[in-house]
Structure 1
Amino acid sequence: MPAASSPPRRPRSGNRRDEAARLAVLHAADDLLVEHGFGALTVEAIARRAGVAKQTIYRWWPSKVEILLDTLIEDSNKRLPVPTEQPTAESIRGYLRGFARFLTRDTAGKVLLALIAEAQRDPGTAKSFHQRYLGPRREQERDMLARAIEAGEVSPGLGPDATMDALVGPIVYRALTGSSIPRGLVDTLVEDLLRPHKPRHTRT
């Protein structure tokens, strides 16, 4: 996942949402995604599981992608917030470890992986995914790195975006391919990409 702005909200149409029904739809969507996968997920199935009319869902969301984005944004903010306190190398390490757990153990992590995969196939999904989730979260992560650099806690050799790509990329790749994410991977990424390099002593 600060001084960054909140994720932009998609314009809503139709009647005011009933909160209980809204939450039922979001929970149904991520449960069905985990059970059956993105391809088999339909608005009809979500409506049945949530106990709401299909027409009601379409008044609130234009597609299943937007439903999944809503549940991803809410769950990420609750269970994987970008640290807001003064960041250190250790707090960034903790954030990355939490990210690895989120991808491998949390239903919302499965939603994130599914949307990453679908974004490669569908330009509309890619645009909405970047605007509503990736862009706002990256802004928060960039701010986290900038404050850690300013405080002298880390000294990455790459720019903020390239550093975050290098940190999260191997974690996402292993999760997408169904591989385990060893604890040592995060430690190595932090040490190699964020830790200040100690000057070598030269012999006199």
Structure 2
Amino acid sequence: MITSSESAPNPRRRSERSRRATLEAALEVCAESGYGKVTIEAIAARAGVSKKTIYRWWPTKGAILLDAVTEMVVSDSPFPDTGDLAADLRTHIGSVVRLFNSPVFGSAYGGILAALLHDERLARAVNDELVIPRVALVVERMRGAQGQGQLPPDADLPLAVEMLYGPLYYRHALGRPLQEPERIDALVAHVMRALRAPGWS
């Protein structure tokens, strides 16, 4: 026998389906048409949801795409901990590079980077929701390696993160993505040498 509670639709589950459909639709429209041509109307039509539903969760298309790319970053580029910091950095940077080079992620994130130059609200959201948490993750992993003696105790870890990941964003912004595995290896080796050099910090 099915009770009324079992047969009734679950609003939370339905909301999550709509949210997922919206994020996926936003990424698809952006990959097909480019960030500049993405509209809430196009996202709503692709997702099969109303504009009212979208605006209940997100104020702008940039906010939708930021949520979408943040979820991709978290799910597709976890930070490993094998005990070998250099190897873990190479693995993680490689996963970030693959994300940047994917048409879906690359188009959305490139558009967000361009838009935040004249959208202060979006710039704050990128910093608060994506950049700060991801930097903290890498710093924490490096701090663990520091405690194991793989890095000197006075190494400036936030600056080291900028040295490692700055080139990825720079190349992505210029449309010249880092691709070759040997270049990733060279980047990690160069920064590790700098961290370990006497008097660097």
1:77 counterpart = 2:74: yes
Cα distance 1:158–1:33, how it changes in 2: closer, same or farther (>3 A)?
A: farther
Q: SS where residue 117 of structure 2 aligns? A: helix
CA apart distance, 1:117: 2.0
Q: TM-score, normalised by structure 2?
A: 0.82
Which letter maps to 2:100? L
Q: TM-score, normalised by structure 1?
A: 0.81
Cα distance 1:39–1:158, how it changes in 2: closer, same or farther (>3 A)?
A: farther
What number of residue pairs does the alignment pair up?
Answer: 185
Higher normalized contact order (CA 8 Å, seq sep 6+, divided by chain length): 1
Q: Take 1:63 and 1:54, find their aligned partners in 2: how far apart are those partners?
A: 11
Which letter maps to 1:51? G
Contact 1:87 1:144 in 2 (8 A): no
Q: Take 2:101 and 2:127, find their aligned partners in 1: how far apart are those partners?
A: 22
Q: SS where residue 121 of structure 1 aligns? A: coil
Report sequence identity in percent: 32
Q: SS where residue 123 of structure 2 aligns? A: helix
Give 2:124's aligned residue.
127
Which letter maps to 2:157? P
1:62 counterpart = 2:59: yes
1:114 pairs with one of 106, 111, 114: 111
Instruction: Map 1:14-163; keep pairs closer than 5 Å.
Output: 18-84=15-81, 86=83, 88-105=85-102, 107-155=104-152, 159-163=156-160
Q: Which runs of 5+ in 2 are unaligned?
A: 1-10
CA apart distance, 1:158: 5.4
Contact 1:156 1:194 in 2 (8 A): no
Give 1:190's aligned residue.
188
Which letter maps to 1:82? F
Across the aligned residues of Structure 1 and Structure 2, the Cα RMSD in angstroms comes to: 2.3
Larger Rg, first or second structure (1 or 2) = 2
Misfit runs of 4+, over 3 Å: 84-87, 154-158, 195-199
Q: SS where residue 52 of structure 2 aligns? A: helix
Which letter maps to 1:190? V
**Deviations 1:155-193 (CA, angstroms, capped at 9, x unpaired):** 598511211111111122222222242322211211111
Which letter maps to 2:78? P
